[in-house]
Copies of this chain bind each other. A is one copy, B any other.
């Protein structure tokens, strides 16, 4: 798995980037890494900005965090970060997942299914249903659309290695941030599967409040 944690935390209004915020007993990013390790994914590549590496190493020491992982420097955009992560994979044939560092609550089942489906079908992405009504903006007006036909998608997005490598050779917009959309340009169909609702992306202060609740419920259980 390539775990991408390049955020500067500017949207959080916090001093430290959100992947380093402590949730329960350790920083967000350690929960994320542990989720994959617990799901028997031991080949973990962490992509962080070079400027964060020393801080991360200090955190690892402080929290006695022992799960092995390879650290790769991030790029200016997410796509460059994923690309750097891909370059760090030595295998010729493999299944690779790309996961947001700020999604610490991905379940073991979501991870396992992502890898199983990609192994079989080439490309897998977890989705969730939309519970509110949905409208589409059209210029200055808007119209209702059938929410059952739309799904939000999360990570891990999982692919056969050659596909993702090939997709990242397509000239692309620098701000590209959805790997499935890129792989799809190779005419590879994306297999959606139901993800887990707790697998939120921690972006806003509200998300962080929700995250604190999830962690305390998980630690009770």
Contacts and interface: CB of A to CB of B under 8 A. Distances in A.
A181 B132 contact: no
A190 interface: yes
Kindly report how many copies of this chain are found in the complex they form together: 2
A198 B212 CA distance: 15
Contacts of A136: 149-150
A152 B133 contact: yes
A151 B135 contact: yes
Contacts of A180: 133, 135, 144
A69 interface: no
B203 A197 contact: no
Interface string A121-148: 0000101101111111110011111001
Q: 3 closest Cβ contacts across the A-B interface? A: A132-B152, A213-B213, A144-B181
